[in-house]
């Protein structure tokens, strides 16, 4: 963008994006006092280039937060640190919601935050401002019948 004479700061996600790096640690060391530390060090050595790229990306976009490896699994990190329940933007209050690619995304519903689990393409579309339809594809209606029902 800069080479074409435009401002690269215009490139940004339209909604806040939190990328949690989890489930990537391989267990090479076990049954020792420094198990976690040793495995994390090996993880950073193996994925140095990938983590540097993600860090660069998190610095390049205003609406993107990258939660580093070793911070926890996404649904726990979301519940404990990221879920805001209510946003306050210039005095305008509106509810938080989550669209995530982890199968446990909907755990955030326990805090009153609407959470939807989606595929990668749907998540990318949401980041770029594509509206998502949250209307269910089907609804269930239970009917019951009692014989000799008296009108009161």
Quick: pLDDT tens for 64-75: 999 988 888 888
CB 84 within 8 A of CB 94: no
Q: Is the pLDDT of residue 152 over 70?
A: no
C-alpha closest to that of 25 among 58, 54, 60, 68? 68
C-alpha closest to that of 83 among 60, 63, 106? 106
Residue boundaries of the structural domains of the chain:
1-71, 73-152
> For 84-117, how does the pLDDT look when each residue is reduced to its tens digit (9 = 90+)?
899 898 999 999 999 999 888 888 988 889 898 9
Q: Please give the model's pTM, rounded to 2 decimal places.
A: 0.74
> For 119-150, how does the pLDDT look when each residue is reduced to its tens digit (9 = 90+)?
999 999 999 889 888 777 777 888 887 777 66
> For 110-120, how does the pLDDT look when each residue is reduced to its tens digit (9 = 90+)?
888 989 899 99
Q: What is the pLDDT of residue 13?
A: 87
Q: 23: helix, coil or strand? A: coil
């Amino acid at each position: 963008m800069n080479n074409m004479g435009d401002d690269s700061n215009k490139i940004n996600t339209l909604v806040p994006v939190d990328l949690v790096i989890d489930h990537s640690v391989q267990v090479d060391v076990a049954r020792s006092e420094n198990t976690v530390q040793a495995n994390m060090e090996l993880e950073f050595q193996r994925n140095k280039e990938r983590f540097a790229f993600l860090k660069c990306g998190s610095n390049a976009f205003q609406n993107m937060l990258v939660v580093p490896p070793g911070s926890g699994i996404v649904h726990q990190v979301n519940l404990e640190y990221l879920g805001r329940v209510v946003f306050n933007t210039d005095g305008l209050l509106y509810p938080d919601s989550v669209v995530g690619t982890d199968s446990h995304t909907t755990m955030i519903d326990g805090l009153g935050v609407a959470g939807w689990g989606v595929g990668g393409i749907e998540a990318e579309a949401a980041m770029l401002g594509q509206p998502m339809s949250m209307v269910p594809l089907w609804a269930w209606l239970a009917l019951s019948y009692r014989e000799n029902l008296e009108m009161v």
